[in-house]
Structure 1
Amino acid sequence: MGTREDVYQLLEEKMLKYADYANVPVIEVDEVVLFEPVPQQGVLRVEHVPAEMSELTGGVIYVRRPVIDMLYWAGQELKNLDRSLTLKVVYGFRASEVQTRLYEEAKDALREQYPNEDELVEAAHRNVAVPSVAGYPTGGAVAVEILRDEQPVDMGTPVMEANRDAFTFSPFVSRDAWDHRQLLRRAMMAAGFAPFDGEWWHFSYGDKEWARFYRQPGALYDQVSFADAQKVDPDGDLAL
């Protein structure tokens, strides 16, 4: 099996990289750029975990309209398997300017370790996606976990914590955590989301990761700034 480090490297080699997403085009779709709050009802629970967007939105999690339907689908998949299970959404839309700030901070932290610019970009991308290909700024990516009787189940690592044992297929987590990760992955994929196996909690629809994973001709959604996300829709409702 090799050393622990060898296993991490093998898992990383199987993951798609920035270069795999860089040339994925964005295809125009006939859809108003409208974001809606994820509702805390039925098969869904909502709690914003990181603070960088809650400072702007008051802790409300926003996503594209179709994503909400898909989250309900995934939540119902879990309920169908076990009535005690609930899908919890902890992150959604991240403004493109916030993504850029976080990415530049990741690059700065790694600059001495990776003097080659191409290597630096890929290394930083493993921690914070390059803004031009990132899923959160499209409103199509989410971070989720599973609750059992309203309490988080063992997923091996805390949600949204940078840790290589957060790789979905890390063999260094408990059997229960492994099973829970595969259960979450199956439910989210059944709803149409694409998984990012570098983070067991990260799934997306309509972004470049989704397009590359499902071999679509292009992404449906582009990155959106906070100002653009707040534009008024044709019905007069605020988009954010």
Structure 2
Amino acid sequence: MKPYQTVPIAECHEPLVQIPDHFFKINPHPYIALGAPYGDQSPFFVRQGILERLQKSQIYLQTLHPNYQIAIFDAYRPIPVQQFMVDYSFAQLAASKGLPIDNLTELQKDLLMTEVIKFWAVPSNDPQMPPPHSTGAAIDVTLFNAELNTELLNMGSPIDEISDRSLPDYFASSSHPQAFAFHRDRQLLNAVMTHSGFARHPNEWWHFSYGDQLWAWISNKNLAIYGRANSAC
């Protein structure tokens, strides 16, 4: 159990709604491309209140950088997709360390999973401990420069990288010009998202949420208002 999973949920029953096409969505969706089992569900859904906050963040971003847009990497994630991605990430991490996935010791499994769940929520079916993305309240985003022919900004590490480079302030103390730019752009993304009330994941520069258990825990709130969401079509 992660610390935030102890926060009680007072579900507000707000509906899931589609993120409009005027937002830049990374397509093809990376998890669908891997074969994640969405079925007839869509990753580009969020709760109504999350969409309103996302729109507010987009407007604020364009007052600071008129050519920049928020790019949507991922949003709603059904529990089977969460399980698929945890399993996939576990296998990829094992392969990167030269460890045969079918011949791991229990200690190796535990060490690998400890690394994985630093970045991935446990795909629990317990309604009191939903993964953040399964609530429709969490969203993975980056920045996009519309002036440079649909170019995503280089933020210093790809989304979902299981390494310390994904920590929001990893580049904060570096004096290298490129590292300075990475930190500056991560700070910009954080500023525009927190402007509308989102909280950033402590370990992930790209993950923001509002109203779920993680948000409540980071924000010192007594209750979360979004539990596990109904399916999005």
**Which residue number corresponds to residue 23 of structure 1?**
6
Supply the RMSD in Å over aligned alpha carbons: 2.8
**Which residue number corresponds to residue 218 of structure 1?**
223
**Which residue number corresponds to residue 6 of structure 1?**
none
Tell me the matched-pair count.
206
> In structure 2, what residue type is equivalent to 1:91?
D
- Whether the 8 Å CA contact 1:169–1:178 is kept in 2: the answer is yes
Deviation digits for residues 99-119 of structure 1 (CA, Å, limit 9, x no counterpart):
2343456678697464797x8
Q: TM-score, normalised by structure 1?
A: 0.74
Structure 1 unaligned segments of length 5 or more: list them: 1-17, 231-239
> In structure 2, what residue type is equivalent to 1:183?
L
Q: TM-score, normalised by structure 2?
A: 0.76
Deviation digits for residues 124-181 of structure 1 (CA, Å, limit 9, x no counterpart):
4213212334211111111111112232112111233333211111126611111000
Are residues 195 and 83 of structure 1, via their aligned partners in 2, closer, same or farther at CA, if it must alter by over 3 Å?
same
How many angstroms apart in 2 are the aligned matches of 1:106 and 1:60? 18
Match status 1:46 vs 2:35 = no
Structure 2 unaligned segments of length 5 or more: list them: 95-100, 124-128
SS in 2 for 1:174: helix
More RCO (CA 8 Å, sep 6+): 2
SS in 2 for 1:36: strand
- Of the three residues 133, 137, 162, the one matched with 2:134 is 137
How many angstroms apart in 2 are the aligned matches of 1:24 and 1:215? 10
1:190 to partner: Cα distance: 0.7
Q: Percent identity?
A: 23
**Which residue number corresponds to residue 186 of structure 1?**
191
**Which residue number corresponds to residue 165 of structure 1?**
165
**Which residue number corresponds to residue 182 of structure 2?**
177
Match status 1:209 vs 2:214 = yes
How many angstroms apart in 2 are the aligned matches of 1:202 and 1:144? 7
- Whether the 8 Å CA contact 1:96–1:223 is kept in 2: the answer is no
- Of the three residues 72, 79, 85, the one matched with 2:68 is 85
- The answer to which of 130-139 and 198-207 deviates more is 130-139
